[in-house]
Amino acid sequence: MIKLDHVSKVYKDSVVALDGVNVDIQKGEFVFIVGPSGSGKSTLIRLLIREEEPTKGEIFVAGKNIASLSPWKVPYLRRNVGTVFQDFKLLPDKTVYENVAFALDVIGKQKHVIKSRVPEILDLVGLGDKLQHYPDELSGGEQQRVSIARAFVNRPLILLADEPTGNLDPATSVDIMKLLDRINRTGTTVVMATHDNAIVDAMRRRVIELTGGKIVRDQERGVYGYGA
């Protein structure tokens, strides 16, 4: 589903974010990307949605080489890859329902599709009773659920999460992880960048550890770190 082949990313000021990274992620896997700040986790996520292009190497997402993808095809790649961020990225002047509907509306989905799918997905994330609330009326955990609903409403093949629990307390984080686990069980590949060791240790899923832009560990059913 995702394959990185000797991928390097060097920024203009010659900062090396990724250095010869090889990763192979199968369909339906749940993968943690761990490592200290600046180790290249976010760069990896940004490369997977072609927010940035690699300096060297090839990246395959859902069978397509996205390093050489022409710009007009990028939106269609992103429709297959849902993204969730630490800061939720919700629109404050839109309700929960409108925030999720927006994602379908702007990719040209029909009204009746939006009307049936949005309440359905919001039920799935446990917000079926808060459709008409605005983001600032919700807790952090609830806001992140909206953001996950928005990322998942178009049934992407892959869900990328960049520090999704970074702004949440441990109990709420556990709920979010349960939700991501449920999404993963529907067959969606989930890749989550995090430095929340408690979560990684509890989940016991594949762990890829980056340090200084290099993979230093790639372990099935791993924990956050040897020292943890």
The footprint of other proteins (CB under 8 A) covers 49-51, 71-72, 74-80, 83, 89, 91, 102-103, 105-108, 111, 150-151, 154
For other proteins, the closer CB: 105 or 218: 105
User: Phi-psi bin for 28: left (phi > 0), alpha (psi -120 to 50), beta?
Assistant: left
Q: What is the DSSP string of 84-153?
A: EETT----TTS-HHHHHHHHHHTTT--HHHHHHHHHHHHHHTT-TT-TT--GGGS-HHHHHHHHHHHHHT
For other proteins, the closer CB: 71 or 227: 71
For other proteins, the closer CB: 75 or 187: 75
CB of 190 to other proteins, least distance (A): 17
Q: What is the DSSP string of 210-223?
A: EETTEEEEEETT--
DSSP 8-state code for residue 73: G
CB of 204 to other proteins, least distance (A): 30
For other proteins, the closer CB: 36 or 75: 75
For other proteins, the closer CB: 41 or 150: 150
CB of 50 to other proteins, least distance (A): 7
CB of 154 to other proteins, least distance (A): 7
CB of 185 to other proteins, least distance (A): 23
Q: Please report how many Cα atoms fall inside a 13 Å half-sphere around the Cα of residue 187, on the Cβ side.
A: 3
